[in-house]
Amino acid sequence: MQDGSGRIVVQNLTKNFGAVAAVQNLSFQVEPGSVTGFLGPNGAGKTTTLRMLLGLVRPTAGFATINGQPFSGLGNPGRVVGAVLEAQGFHPKRSAINHLRVYCSAMGIQDRRAEEVLGLVGLAATATRDVGGFSLGMKQRLALATALLGDPQVLVLDEPANGLDPEGIAWLRQFLRSFAASGRTVLISSHLLAEVEQTIDQVVIISRGQTMYYGMLDDLRRSQQSRVIVQPADVNALVTALQEGGISGIQPTGDGKVAVTGATVQQVGDVAAKAGVALYGVQEEKADLEQLFFRLTSGQYAAPGIVHYGAPPPQGFGPPPGYQQSGYHQQPNYNQPSGYHQPVQGYQQPPGYQQPPSGYQPGYDPSPYQAPQAPEPTKEQGGNS
């Protein structure tokens, strides 16, 4: 029996695909009234976890529940959970409003709810347009509208900002926070870390199918030390003054600046003023979610190292043994095919060729590309449903 809490519980969840461990002993909990970010690099196991939560994949071990029940035990799940895993599955010749009416019929909901959710996601003006002509961002909005049909208690969204323009992302952020503020539950997976940081309250970070961090976002930020970057008139004098002031986290950066941890901007400024050291710049650097994410996931699929352009290749990198690097070398016992002639030395332009006149410009316009304006739909085009 459902407990009506709107709580999502994932406990010791594991999924193996043959010898591949996609998810390993994953545990977390999502409370109503909050937006939880489910983060991880591609291939970390996010979508597999969401599919297990929604009853689409059977776990190897562990369990996932919504309202205290597995998805299969929710009765009419569309009234409890609205989910978007892919913004696909639309018939290209069906209008947006008719697409939603099909789902209304399946869920036992009145058709007027379709019009309501189109208004919620900003697609009311395109209700009668065929979905085949929608952009990716419009399809994302339509998928969200489909998830909202049953007025669900829980939203589960996989990469919901994919395809949205900046205005759409800002709208989505505000919508999700408003949805959660009404006492409902939101779980979103994403790798758009900068956007998620402004939306979520708590975060679950996974890598290689394992939990790397689970908790409040603010707690994660506080666990990482910020630092103050100072550009003093005299580096040595400032370092000495800071040490005498009991500040030990001091690291000259080599470019005339000093990085200080374990102290605030005000503390560093007070010490410099007391010591008579002029400061030409002071900046506090705080670890953002993206930096923390990379530290926690440890570059799951990152390259072994960064090779800068023009730098020599890393040790052990090079052509295979026996490879002759420069110049063409004909293989032993190689016979030229019949009719083959060596190219003529000193290529000459063909007779009649003339250099282009002075001031010649290539036959294209190098100015930046301007997207064509979409024509206004005619009455006949706009009324297709």
Q: What is the CATH number of the domain that holds 234?
A: 3.30.70.100
Q: Are residues 32 and 175 in the same domain?
A: yes
H/E stretch holding 98: helix 96-107
pTM value?
0.67
pLDDT given for residue 292 in this prediction: 73
Number of domains in the chain: 2
Q: Which residue among 261, 286, 311 closes a domain?
A: 286
- Amino acid identity of 171? W
- Amino acid identity of 250? I
Q: Are residues 73 and 49 in the same domain?
A: yes
Q: Are residues 26 and 121 in the same domain?
A: yes
Q: Are residues 211 and 235 in the same domain?
A: no
Give the range among 7-11, 215-219, 346-350 with minimum mean pLDDT.
346-350
Q: Answer yes or no: is 304 within a domain.
A: no
Q: Answer yes or no: is 318 within a domain.
A: no
Q: Answer yes or no: is 327 within a domain.
A: no
- d(C-alpha 228, C-alpha 285), whole Å: 6
Res 361 pLDDT > 80: no
What does the pLDDT look like over 172-192, one tens digit per residue?
999 999 999 999 999 999 876
pLDDT given for residue 360 in this prediction: 47
What whole-number percentage of the chain has pLDDT above 90? 55
Q: Are residues 144 and 282 in the same domain?
A: no
Q: Which residue among 265, 286, 307 closes a domain?
A: 286
Q: Answer yes or no: is 337 within a domain.
A: no
Res 249 pLDDT > 50: yes
Res 343 pLDDT > 90: no
pLDDT given for residue 152 in this prediction: 95
Q: Are residues 270 and 242 in the same domain?
A: yes
Q: Answer yes or no: is 29 within a domain.
A: yes
Q: Are residues 181 and 72 in the same domain?
A: yes
Find, among 189, 180, 118, the residue nearest to 149 by Cα.
118
Task: Please provide residue 316's backbone torsions phi and psi, each rounded to the nearest 5 degrees.
Answer: 90, -10
pLDDT given for residue 97 in this prediction: 96
Q: How confident is the model at residue 345 (pLDDT cuts 50, 70, 90)?
A: low
> What count of residues does the chain have?
385
pLDDT given for residue 285 in this prediction: 80
Find, among 119, 161, 143, the residue nearest to 35 by Cα.
161
pLDDT given for residue 288 in this prediction: 65
Q: Answer yes or no: is 379 within a domain.
A: no
pLDDT given for residue 49 in this prediction: 96
Q: Are residues 185 and 80 in the same domain?
A: yes
Res 118 pLDDT > 70: yes
Full residue range of the structural domain in which residue 245 is found? 227-286
Q: Are residues 148 and 77 in the same domain?
A: yes
Q: Are residues 135 and 160 in the same domain?
A: yes
Residue 98 corresponds to which tokens in the numbers above? 């008719």
Q: Are residues 17 and 96 in the same domain?
A: yes
- d(C-alpha 39, C-alpha 212), whole Å: 10
Of residues 324 and 150, the one with the higher pLDDT is 150
- Amino acid identity of 261? T
Of residues 223 and 139, the one with the higher pLDDT is 139
Q: Which residue among 235, 255, 286 closes a domain?
A: 286
What does the pLDDT look like over 301-331, one tens digit per residue?
444 444 444 445 445 444 445 544 444 444 4
Q: Answer yes or no: is 97 within a domain.
A: yes
Q: What is the CATH number of the domain that holds 56?
A: 3.40.50.300
